[in-house]
Amino acid sequence: MKKAIVLYMHVHQPYRVRNYTIFDAGVNHEYFDAPYEHGTSNERIMHKVAEKSYLPTNRRLLKLLRAYPEFKLSLSITGTVIEQMEAWAPEALQSFVELTKTGRVEIVGETYHHSLAFFYSRREFEAQVKEHEKKVKEIFGQTPKVFRNTELAYNNDVAYWADKAGYKAILAEGWDAVLDWRNPNHVYRPSYTEKIKLLLKNYRLSDDIAFRFSNRSWAGWPLTADKFTHWLDESSDATNFNLFMDYETFGEHQWDDTGIFEFLEHLPKEWIKHKGHTFMTVSEVADAFDPADSLDIPNTVTWADTERDLSAWLGNGMQTSAIAALYNLEEKILDTKDEKLIEDWRKLQASDHFYYMCTKWFNDGDIHAYFSPYENPYDAFIAFMNAYHDLRFRLAQMGVAL
Amino acid sequence: MRILMLGWELPPHNSGGLGIACYQLSKALSERGADIEFVLPYTAKHPGVEFMRVNAATPQDVKEVMKSGMAYQSFKYIHKNGDVKELGMVDQTRIYEHAVGQIAKLAEFDLIHAHDWMTFRAALRAKAITGKPMIAHVHTVEADRAGKEFGGNPLCREIEETALSLADRVIAISERTREGIMREYGIPSHKIDVVYNHFDPTVDLNFLEQVDGADNAYVYLERMRQLGYGIVTNIGRITIQKGLTNLLRAFKLVHDRVPRSLLLLAGAGEQRDELVALAADLGIGDSVIFTGFQRGKRYGDTFKVGDVFAMPSFSEPFGIAALEAVAYGTPLVASKQTGATEIIKNCLTADYWDTHELANKITAVLQNKSLGEELSKNALREFDVRSWHDSAGALWDIYSQHTQEVYA
């Protein structure tokens, strides 16, 4: 019996809005060009992430791909992070291209702008998926065959759409509430679909690496590749272990000195020691196994927080009013056919902007758990809305009725 | 006439109207012939104060006292040996008192004039040391700041009660404030004079501020006005006393009727985050604009860009911003609890708690151009007949009574 590790990592950086004031609105139409020394400087963050995470991780991944023919992985890379690497860290982008040249790194499809457009405008959503597909083809020479929605936001409708769009598989969170008695270590079939397979993140094992790895009060600490593969071995009811995580886990969320890179370097060797153990990309695992069961998931699940819903992005009035205001401009913006205006509007759709407005943790006083370039969620909202007002100003200047 | 004037702030280091009122009043008094020594609790450069001497009351081993945080709250002490210490307001009033005591021993003056409770302990000490008459100038009483009759911090109340009882004379900045002083502390009415504040648009308070161009700084809002949008503005500290949650609720009602309307809130304060969230929850998050604290040209432009200035304070002893709005030709909607409405009758009023009536009045101005024009034209007339010189003249008479009096 074959058992595969399905390692999938998500690479993304948004265009953060600088401290854009009402006095900028109508005067300066650049929202994303914070001075280099500011916390919202996208260029600076890209330099930092490339140096701490992308370059050292890819160096090791390439080494592993060369050393172990069984080693494979999948990546999703948003359009906005590709653009930022093109502009500020071309060597990092090149290192991703090197990985895909091995033929054992699969690129997963998603929205170009890391948006929640699926829930607001199907037309806009499809345009962004197309745009991403084009960019991936151009940079990596692949056409995505597996789909993930932003933040792994998933429900029956997303699956139905992806099935009709011809994807082999779709990714989602393997949350207990949707799995019920099942485990995430099999391939599933979304209800109401015919061909597509559903791959569910094993959040316990994934989070052991992504979140708990450096936690000294965790019983599993210190986590070694040997110990980890031993845990996997103990699960007999399994065909595939879906380890899904943010790429920045390596070097950014878990720093070099935690030993995360050593863990990564030893994982393939420890895993393939045993007969029948292998690695698969997301479309390989979809091809390899039949669905164990079908899953009916009417309510949206995501990969965030204990709620596993959209409340980190759309949980308060600021978030919902900001996103509604933005999508209300859709027709007017698209009708202008003004590329710069449309692009700025799309950059503002990144889910990250709404995440920065989240007050869930802020109210608990646990602001350190709150990863944002802004001092607080209110400042994030104000800067975003001022940019929104400037979009309106630009429309008015073009003679569009508001 | 030599005056030892005790104040808490002066522009450009002011956080609110108190500093501006002290500045303009001192200027008018000096033009009248007063020789003023103005004592502040912090060290800083003050351009445009050549008409008086400005001193910082600081302990001997302290090199510098900086204001930090918002709204009079805290002070940073930098000692000569490099130590830095943060102090809250009540501690600061004690240090100020001690330092003013040292100044009082050396300086020569005929009378002590103290502005608000923060300086009252110092004023009492200066009076005790020199025996000079002391005038307590009340811009707000604690109950006003707390938004509750007989409410507020007992320490502040104790200072106010003691100082107002021992003062030779009490000045209130409105009838409303005089009534507050009588109600809260039982000070007899004949001991209190009402001297109104004023706003002088010809005095340039921009100081170091770069004035950039003749166009309004709110380019976006001006563009929206051209498209038929109505702009409601308010400027000031974003704090409970200003009644801004009611303004948001009222504006929601306005916006339902006049969708082409925007609310501009300029200022900073502890209530800002709450208001940002409330605006969003009310569904008007895309129609309320927060600018943060502004001064100089942007400050003035905030009034100018408005089609109506809305000031629904729970309790506003005077509310100089109301006068500024009038001076800039912006129609005024104020709460009945605003002192400035004692002298500006050509405005629309509503009780601070009556969001429907506030909305009714604001909507009326936005929908009827002629109403707004009539209001602003007539209010300007009321405004123009007054000046700081009236206030200075009234104070001069009071000074004279107390310095020329022959005591038995």
Instruction: Give bridge partners of residue A250 from the DSSP assignment.
Output: A254
Q: Which residue has the higher pLDDT, A384 or B9?
A: A384
Tell me whether residues B291 and A21 touch, CB distance under 8 A: yes
Q: Which residues of B touch A381 (CB under 8 A)?
A: 276, 280, 285
Going from the C-alpha of A278 to that of each of A172, A318, A383, the distances in angstroms are: 22, 46, 48
Checking if the pLDDT of B70 tops 80, the result is no
* B61 lies within 8 A of chain A by CB: no
CB contact under 8 A, B286 and A386: no
H-run or E-run covering A197: strand A197-201
DSSP symbol at B203: S
Over residues A100-114, the mean pLDDT reads: 98
pLDDT tens-digit profile of B71-90? 455 677 788 888 888 888 88
Percent of chain A with pLDDT over 90: 92
When pLDDT is averaged across residues B1-9 and rounded to a whole number, the result is 95
What is the predicted pLDDT for the residue at A169? 98
Q: Is B391 domain-assigned? A: yes
Selecting from A22, A316, A359 the residue whose C-beta is nearest the C-beta of B220 gives: A22
Are B33 and B126 contained in the same domain? yes
Min Cα separation A36/chain B (Å):
23
State whether B263 and B193 are in the same domain. Answer: no
Q: Which chain B residues are Cβ-neighbours of A316 within 8 angstroms?
A: 277, 280-281
Q: At what angle do helices A317-328 and A377-397 cross, to 10 degrees?
A: 20
Using a CB-CB cut-off of 8 Å, the residues of chain B touching A386 are: 289
pLDDT of residue B212: 58
Alpha-carbon gap, residue B128 to B113, rounded angstroms: 14
Is the confidence at residue A46, as pLDDT, over 70? Answer: yes
Give the confidence band of B42 by pLDDT, cuts at 50, 70, 90. Answer: confident
- pTM of model > 0.95: no
Residue B203 falls inside a structural domain:
no
Domain for residue B209, yes or no? Answer: no
pLDDT grade, residue B206 (50/70/90)? low
B140-197 pLDDT, tens digit per residue, is 999 988 878 999 999 999 999 999 999 999 999 999 999 999 999 999 999 999 999 9
Backbone angles phi, psi at B104, to 5 degrees: -60, -30
State how many domains chain B has: 2
Mean pLDDT, rounded, for A208-228: 94
**Could you tell me the CA-to-CA distances from B158 to A354, B117, B121, B315 in Å, in that order?**
48, 10, 10, 21
- The whole-angstrom distance between B232's CA and the closest CA on chain A is 15
Interface contact B218, partner A, CB < 8 A: yes
Residue with tokens 């009321």: B382
Which of B223, B264, B283 lies nearest to residue A26, judging by beta carbons?
B223
| Amino acid present at A131 | E
Residues 6 or more apart whose CB falls under 8 angstroms from that of A177 comprise A301, A308
- Asked if B265 and B174 sit in the same domain, the reply is no
Residue B210 has pLDDT above 90, yes or no: no
Strands annotated E in B10-125? 35-40, 53-56, 62-68, 74-79, 84-87, 111-115
Using 50, 70 and 90 to split pLDDT, how confident is the model at B407?
low
pLDDT, tens digit (0-9, with 9 covering 90-100), for A230-247: 999 888 889 999 999 999
Instruction: Give residues with Cβ within 8 angstroms of A186, minimum separation 6.
Output: A238, A239, A240, A289, A291, A292, A293
The helices-and-strands tally (H runs, E runs) of chain A is 18, 10
Q: Does position B386 have pLDDT exceeding 60, yes or no?
A: yes
> Which among A389, A390, A400 is the top mutation candidate for probing chain B, defined by the most B β-carbons within 10 Å of its own β-carbon?
A389
Asked if B54 contacts B30 with a C-beta cutoff of 8 angstroms, the reply is: no
Tokens of B156: 């502040």
Instruction: Give CA–CA dist A16/A356, Å, rounded.
Output: 10
Chain A residues lying within 8 Å of B259, measured CB to CB: none
Nearest residue of A to residue B297, measured between CA atoms: A23
pLDDT attached to residue B315: 86
What pLDDT is attached to residue B267? 94
Q: By the CB < 8 Å criterion, does B88 face chain A?
A: no
Whether residues A393 and B220 touch (CB distance < 8 A) is answered with yes
Using CA coordinates, name the residue in chain B closest to A357.
Answer: B277
CATH number, position B227: 3.40.50.2000
- Mean pLDDT over A198-204 rounds to 97
Q: Is residue A316 within 8 angstroms of chain B, CB to CB?
A: yes
Residue B364 has pLDDT above 50, yes or no: yes
Looking at residues B15-33, what average pLDDT do you find? Answer: 89
The tens digit of pLDDT for each residue in A292-342 reads 999 999 999 999 888 899 999 999 999 999 999 999 999 999 999 999 999
Which residues 278-297 of B are in CB contact (within 8 Å) with A?
280-286, 289-292
Q: Do B295 and B352 fall within a single domain?
A: yes
Q: Check if A390 contacts B (Cβ < 8 Å).
A: yes
> Which stretches of A12-152 are assigned E, i.e. beta strand?
73-77, 105-107, 146-147
User: Using 50, 70 and 90 to split pLDDT, how confident is the model at B11?
Assistant: confident
Measure in Å the smallest separation between the Cα of A117 and chain B Cα atoms. Answer: 19
Residue B150 confidence (pLDDT): 95
Judge: A321–B289 Cβ closer than 8 Å, yes or no: no
The reply to whether B227 and B369 lie within a common domain is yes
Q: Are residue B62 and residue B78 in the same domain, yes or no?
A: yes
For chains A and B, count residue pairs whose Cβ atoms are closer than 8 Å.
77
Partners of A390 on chain B (C-beta within 8 Å) are 220
pLDDT of B173 reads 96
Do B360 and B326 share a structural domain? yes
Would you call A389 an interface residue with chain B, using a CB distance cutoff of 8 Å? Answer: yes
* Closest in B219, B264, B291 to A27, CB measured: B219
Q: Is residue B334 part of a domain?
A: yes
Provide the pLDDT for residue B18.
86
Residues B171 and B248 in one domain: no
Q: Which residues constitute the domain of residue B44?
A: 2-198+387-404
Residue B212 domain flag? no
pLDDT band at A49 (very low <50, low <70, confident <90, very high): very high
Contacts of B276 in chain A (CB under 8 A): 318, 378, 381-382
User: Testing the interface with A: which of B209, B216, B219, B284 to mutate, by most A Cβ within 10 A?
Assistant: B219
What's the CA gap between B3 and B129, in Å, rounded?
15
Residues B16 and B165 occupy one common structural domain: yes
Do B164 and B239 fall within a single domain? no
The reply to whether B204 falls in a domain is no
pLDDT at position A365, please? 45
Tell me what pLDDT residue B75 has.
75
Strand partners, B76: B66, B86
Residues B304 and B191 in one domain: no
Predicted pLDDT at B205: 60
Could you read off the pLDDT of B279-314 as tens digits, one per residue?
Answer: 999 999 999 999 999 888 899 999 999 999 999 998
Per cent of chain B over pLDDT 70 is 94
Within a domain: residue B162?
Answer: yes
d(CA B389, CA B11): 20
A381 touching B (Cβ < 8 Å): yes
Q: What is the pLDDT of residue B408?
A: 42
Could you say which of A133, A151, A173, A270 is catalytic? A151
Indicate if B42 and B186 belong to the same structural domain: yes
pLDDT above 80: residue A259:
yes
What pLDDT shows up at residue A367? 44
A194 burial level (CB within 10 Å; 0-12, 13-18, 19+): exposed
Asked whether the beta carbons of residue A389 and residue B227 sit closer than 8 angstroms, the reply is no
Band the pLDDT of A378: cuts 50, 70, 90.
Answer: very high
- As given in the structure block, the two tokens for residue A246 are 């943010």
Give every CB contact of residue A307 below 8 A, 6+ residues apart in sequence. none
A151 classed as catalytic: yes
Average the pLDDT over B126-151 and give the result. 93
Please give the structure tokens belonging to residue B191: 């001991």
What's the confidence (pLDDT) of residue A155?
98
Q: Which residues in chain B have their CB less than 8 angstroms from residue A321's CB? A: 280, 283-286
Minimum distance, in Å, between the CA of residue A125 and any CA atom of chain B: 23
For residue A392, list chain B residues with Cβ-Cβ distance below 8 A.
Answer: 220, 224
Percent of chain B with pLDDT over 90: 74
A26 touches chain B (CB under 8 A): yes
Mean pLDDT of chain B: 91
